[in-house]
Amino acid sequence: MTDLSQKLSAYLDGELDPTEAEAIEARIASDPDVQAELDALMEADALAQEQFAAMLDDPVPFNLAQQIKATPIPERPVAANTPSRPIWGTLAASLVVFALGGVGGYVVKGQTTPPTQTAGWLAAVADYHGVYASQGRHLVEVGADEAEHIETWLGNTVGASFTIPDLTEFGLTFEGGRLLVANGKPVAQLMYRQPDGTVIALCLQRSNKDPNAPVEFREQTINGFDFVSWSADGADYVVIGPMGEPELDAIAASAALEI
Protein backbone atom coordinates (compact mmCIF):
# COMPACT_ATOMS: atom_id res chain seq x y z
CA MET A 1 0.00 0.00 0.00
CA THR A 2 1.38 3.40 -1.00
CA ASP A 3 1.77 6.29 1.38
CA LEU A 4 -1.16 8.00 -0.33
CA SER A 5 -3.35 4.91 0.10
CA GLN A 6 -2.45 4.78 3.78
CA LYS A 7 -3.34 8.45 4.15
CA LEU A 8 -6.66 7.95 2.38
CA SER A 9 -7.45 4.91 4.52
CA ALA A 10 -6.64 6.86 7.69
CA TYR A 11 -8.79 9.73 6.36
CA LEU A 12 -11.78 7.38 5.91
CA ASP A 13 -11.27 6.03 9.44
CA GLY A 14 -11.10 9.55 10.92
CA GLU A 15 -7.56 8.98 12.17
CA LEU A 16 -5.96 12.13 10.69
CA ASP A 17 -5.53 15.33 12.62
CA PRO A 18 -7.32 18.44 11.23
CA THR A 19 -4.27 19.70 9.35
CA GLU A 20 -3.61 16.35 7.64
CA ALA A 21 -7.30 15.93 6.85
CA GLU A 22 -7.45 19.36 5.18
CA ALA A 23 -4.38 18.51 3.10
CA ILE A 24 -5.89 15.23 1.92
CA GLU A 25 -9.20 16.93 1.11
CA ALA A 26 -7.34 19.49 -0.98
CA ARG A 27 -5.60 16.72 -2.96
CA ILE A 28 -8.91 14.89 -3.45
CA ALA A 29 -10.53 18.06 -4.77
CA SER A 30 -7.68 18.89 -7.16
CA ASP A 31 -6.58 15.46 -8.40
CA PRO A 32 -9.06 13.10 -10.15
CA ASP A 33 -6.71 10.15 -9.64
CA VAL A 34 -6.74 10.70 -5.88
CA GLN A 35 -10.55 10.94 -5.96
CA ALA A 36 -10.69 7.69 -7.93
CA GLU A 37 -8.45 5.93 -5.39
CA LEU A 38 -10.62 7.21 -2.55
CA ASP A 39 -13.73 5.90 -4.32
CA ALA A 40 -12.08 2.49 -4.76
CA LEU A 41 -11.20 2.33 -1.06
CA MET A 42 -14.76 3.25 -0.10
CA GLU A 43 -16.16 0.53 -2.38
CA ALA A 44 -13.77 -2.05 -0.91
CA ASP A 45 -14.74 -1.02 2.62
CA ALA A 46 -18.46 -1.29 1.81
CA LEU A 47 -17.93 -4.75 0.29
CA ALA A 48 -15.97 -5.92 3.32
CA GLN A 49 -18.75 -4.75 5.65
CA GLU A 50 -21.37 -6.56 3.58
CA GLN A 51 -19.36 -9.78 3.68
CA PHE A 52 -18.86 -9.49 7.45
CA ALA A 53 -22.59 -8.86 7.96
CA ALA A 54 -23.33 -11.96 5.88
CA MET A 55 -21.03 -14.01 8.13
CA LEU A 56 -22.96 -12.85 11.20
CA ASP A 57 -26.19 -13.99 9.55
CA ASP A 58 -25.00 -17.58 9.17
CA PRO A 59 -27.21 -19.81 11.39
CA VAL A 60 -25.87 -21.11 14.68
CA PRO A 61 -27.50 -24.50 15.41
CA PHE A 62 -29.68 -24.46 18.51
CA ASN A 63 -27.96 -27.56 19.91
CA LEU A 64 -24.62 -25.75 19.64
CA ALA A 65 -26.02 -22.86 21.65
CA GLN A 66 -27.19 -25.38 24.24
CA GLN A 67 -23.69 -26.91 24.42
CA ILE A 68 -22.10 -23.48 24.88
CA LYS A 69 -24.57 -22.68 27.64
CA ALA A 70 -23.81 -25.97 29.40
CA THR A 71 -20.01 -25.77 29.10
CA PRO A 72 -18.38 -25.03 32.50
CA ILE A 73 -16.27 -21.89 32.60
CA PRO A 74 -12.80 -22.71 33.99
CA GLU A 75 -11.53 -20.62 36.85
CA ARG A 76 -8.02 -19.31 37.27
CA PRO A 77 -6.27 -17.51 40.12
CA VAL A 78 -7.14 -13.85 40.46
CA ALA A 79 -4.23 -11.47 40.94
CA ALA A 80 -4.36 -8.76 43.57
CA ASN A 81 -6.20 -5.55 42.69
CA THR A 82 -7.96 -7.22 39.77
CA PRO A 83 -11.70 -7.85 39.34
CA SER A 84 -12.90 -11.03 41.06
CA ARG A 85 -14.35 -12.45 37.83
CA PRO A 86 -11.66 -14.19 35.70
CA ILE A 87 -11.07 -12.69 32.28
CA TRP A 88 -11.73 -16.13 30.74
CA GLY A 89 -15.14 -16.08 32.37
CA THR A 90 -15.85 -12.73 30.76
CA LEU A 91 -14.71 -13.98 27.36
CA ALA A 92 -16.73 -17.18 27.65
CA ALA A 93 -19.81 -15.25 28.70
CA SER A 94 -19.32 -12.96 25.73
CA LEU A 95 -19.10 -16.00 23.46
CA VAL A 96 -22.40 -17.28 24.80
CA VAL A 97 -24.06 -13.91 24.23
CA PHE A 98 -22.63 -13.77 20.70
CA ALA A 99 -23.80 -17.30 19.90
CA LEU A 100 -27.25 -16.47 21.22
CA GLY A 101 -27.43 -13.28 19.22
CA GLY A 102 -27.15 -10.95 22.21
CA VAL A 103 -26.78 -8.01 19.82
CA GLY A 104 -29.71 -7.35 17.57
CA GLY A 105 -31.45 -10.72 17.59
CA TYR A 106 -31.65 -14.05 19.28
CA VAL A 107 -29.73 -17.29 18.71
CA VAL A 108 -29.49 -16.55 14.99
CA LYS A 109 -30.16 -13.24 13.36
CA GLY A 110 -31.00 -15.10 10.18
CA GLN A 111 -33.64 -17.12 12.06
CA THR A 112 -35.45 -14.06 13.40
CA THR A 113 -38.48 -12.98 11.40
CA PRO A 114 -39.51 -9.32 10.98
CA PRO A 115 -41.87 -7.74 13.54
CA THR A 116 -45.60 -7.97 12.87
CA GLN A 117 -48.66 -6.53 14.57
CA THR A 118 -50.90 -9.62 14.79
CA ALA A 119 -49.98 -12.93 16.34
CA GLY A 120 -52.98 -15.08 17.30
CA TRP A 121 -52.59 -16.26 20.88
CA LEU A 122 -50.02 -13.53 21.57
CA ALA A 123 -52.71 -10.86 21.28
CA ALA A 124 -54.56 -12.52 24.17
CA VAL A 125 -51.30 -12.75 26.14
CA ALA A 126 -50.78 -9.03 25.58
CA ASP A 127 -54.24 -8.29 26.99
CA TYR A 128 -53.61 -10.45 30.06
CA HIS A 129 -50.19 -8.92 30.61
CA GLY A 130 -51.62 -5.41 30.42
CA VAL A 131 -53.89 -6.29 33.35
CA TYR A 132 -51.69 -8.46 35.54
CA ALA A 133 -48.39 -6.61 35.15
CA SER A 134 -49.84 -3.70 37.11
CA GLN A 135 -50.78 -5.91 40.05
CA GLY A 136 -48.75 -6.02 43.21
CA ARG A 137 -49.89 -8.57 45.76
CA HIS A 138 -52.08 -10.37 43.21
CA LEU A 139 -49.54 -10.57 40.42
CA VAL A 140 -49.58 -14.40 40.50
CA GLU A 141 -51.87 -17.24 41.56
CA VAL A 142 -49.11 -19.37 43.07
CA GLY A 143 -45.99 -17.81 44.55
CA ALA A 144 -42.36 -18.57 43.79
CA ASP A 145 -42.00 -20.50 47.04
CA GLU A 146 -44.04 -23.28 45.39
CA ALA A 147 -41.94 -23.51 42.24
CA GLU A 148 -42.10 -27.30 42.06
CA HIS A 149 -45.89 -27.22 42.33
CA ILE A 150 -46.05 -24.57 39.58
CA GLU A 151 -44.03 -26.77 37.21
CA THR A 152 -46.26 -29.79 37.90
CA TRP A 153 -49.60 -27.95 37.93
CA LEU A 154 -49.08 -25.75 34.89
CA GLY A 155 -47.10 -28.40 33.00
CA ASN A 156 -49.92 -30.94 33.37
CA THR A 157 -52.61 -28.38 32.59
CA VAL A 158 -50.90 -27.03 29.50
CA GLY A 159 -49.69 -30.44 28.36
CA ALA A 160 -46.05 -29.39 28.07
CA SER A 161 -43.51 -30.02 30.81
CA PHE A 162 -41.02 -27.30 31.64
CA THR A 163 -38.46 -26.09 34.15
CA ILE A 164 -38.73 -22.56 35.52
CA PRO A 165 -35.73 -20.65 34.10
CA ASP A 166 -33.37 -18.83 36.44
CA LEU A 167 -33.12 -15.30 35.04
CA THR A 168 -31.34 -13.63 37.93
CA GLU A 169 -28.43 -12.71 35.64
CA PHE A 170 -30.79 -10.14 34.11
CA GLY A 171 -31.82 -8.78 37.51
CA LEU A 172 -35.13 -10.66 37.32
CA THR A 173 -36.74 -12.22 40.38
CA PHE A 174 -39.18 -15.06 39.83
CA GLU A 175 -42.49 -14.13 41.47
CA GLY A 176 -44.67 -17.13 40.62
CA GLY A 177 -47.13 -18.32 38.02
CA ARG A 178 -50.73 -18.26 36.88
CA LEU A 179 -53.00 -19.96 34.35
CA LEU A 180 -54.35 -18.12 31.29
CA VAL A 181 -56.53 -19.14 28.34
CA ALA A 182 -55.76 -18.07 24.75
CA ASN A 183 -57.53 -19.31 21.62
CA GLY A 184 -59.36 -21.83 23.78
CA LYS A 185 -56.13 -23.41 25.04
CA PRO A 186 -54.53 -23.22 28.51
CA VAL A 187 -51.43 -21.05 28.79
CA ALA A 188 -48.86 -21.11 31.59
CA GLN A 189 -47.60 -17.68 32.60
CA LEU A 190 -44.41 -17.31 34.67
CA MET A 191 -43.91 -13.85 36.17
CA TYR A 192 -40.58 -12.14 36.84
CA ARG A 193 -39.96 -8.69 38.28
CA GLN A 194 -37.05 -6.28 37.77
CA PRO A 195 -35.69 -4.23 40.71
CA ASP A 196 -37.65 -1.19 39.48
CA GLY A 197 -40.89 -3.17 39.53
CA THR A 198 -41.13 -3.82 35.78
CA VAL A 199 -42.75 -7.19 35.07
CA ILE A 200 -41.42 -9.60 32.44
CA ALA A 201 -43.49 -12.71 31.71
CA LEU A 202 -42.67 -16.03 30.09
CA CYS A 203 -45.70 -17.85 28.66
CA LEU A 204 -46.10 -21.24 27.02
CA GLN A 205 -48.81 -23.42 25.54
CA ARG A 206 -48.92 -26.78 23.82
CA SER A 207 -48.11 -26.62 20.11
CA ASN A 208 -49.16 -28.71 17.13
CA LYS A 209 -46.05 -27.71 15.19
CA ASP A 210 -43.40 -30.21 14.18
CA PRO A 211 -41.16 -30.64 17.27
CA ASN A 212 -38.22 -31.38 14.98
CA ALA A 213 -38.59 -28.20 12.93
CA PRO A 214 -35.78 -25.60 13.15
CA VAL A 215 -36.20 -23.18 16.03
CA GLU A 216 -37.20 -19.75 14.77
CA PHE A 217 -37.47 -16.64 16.94
CA ARG A 218 -39.82 -13.79 16.18
CA GLU A 219 -39.70 -10.26 17.53
CA GLN A 220 -43.06 -8.50 17.59
CA THR A 221 -44.79 -5.52 19.17
CA ILE A 222 -48.45 -5.97 20.11
CA ASN A 223 -50.63 -3.54 22.04
CA GLY A 224 -47.65 -1.63 23.37
CA PHE A 225 -45.66 -4.69 24.51
CA ASP A 226 -42.59 -6.29 22.93
CA PHE A 227 -42.52 -10.06 22.35
CA VAL A 228 -39.88 -12.64 21.48
CA SER A 229 -41.58 -15.93 20.58
CA TRP A 230 -40.44 -19.35 19.41
CA SER A 231 -41.57 -22.99 19.23
CA ALA A 232 -39.64 -26.03 20.42
CA ASP A 233 -40.25 -29.52 21.81
CA GLY A 234 -44.00 -29.44 21.21
CA ALA A 235 -44.69 -26.07 22.83
CA ASP A 236 -45.01 -22.41 21.83
CA TYR A 237 -43.15 -19.93 24.01
CA VAL A 238 -43.06 -16.16 24.35
CA VAL A 239 -41.27 -13.63 26.54
CA ILE A 240 -43.19 -10.37 26.93
CA GLY A 241 -42.09 -7.04 28.37
CA PRO A 242 -42.61 -3.31 28.00
CA MET A 243 -41.94 -1.81 24.58
CA GLY A 244 -38.27 -0.94 24.19
CA GLU A 245 -37.01 -3.41 26.81
CA PRO A 246 -33.34 -3.68 25.72
CA GLU A 247 -32.58 -7.19 27.03
CA LEU A 248 -35.77 -8.97 26.00
CA ASP A 249 -34.09 -11.00 23.24
CA ALA A 250 -31.24 -12.02 25.55
CA ILE A 251 -33.77 -12.97 28.26
CA ALA A 252 -35.62 -15.11 25.73
CA ALA A 253 -32.32 -16.69 24.67
CA SER A 254 -31.46 -17.74 28.20
CA ALA A 255 -35.03 -18.88 28.94
CA ALA A 256 -35.17 -21.04 25.80
CA LEU A 257 -32.05 -22.92 26.82
CA GLU A 258 -33.22 -23.56 30.37
CA ILE A 259 -36.94 -24.18 30.10
Give the start-to-end residue ranges of the domains of the chain: 3-56, 62-99, 109-258
105 pLDDT more than 80: no
At 63-85, the pLDDT tens digits run: 565 566 666 665 555 544 444 43
b/e code 200-211 from CB counts within 10 Å (16+ = b):
bbbbbbebeeee
At 5-48, the pLDDT tens digits run: 888 777 777 788 878 878 888 888 788 888 878 777 777 766 66
Output the pTM of the full model. Answer: 0.56
**Percent of the chain with pLDDT strictly greater than 70:** 70
Does the domain spanning 109-258 belong to CATH 3.40.1000? yes
94 pLDDT more than 90: no
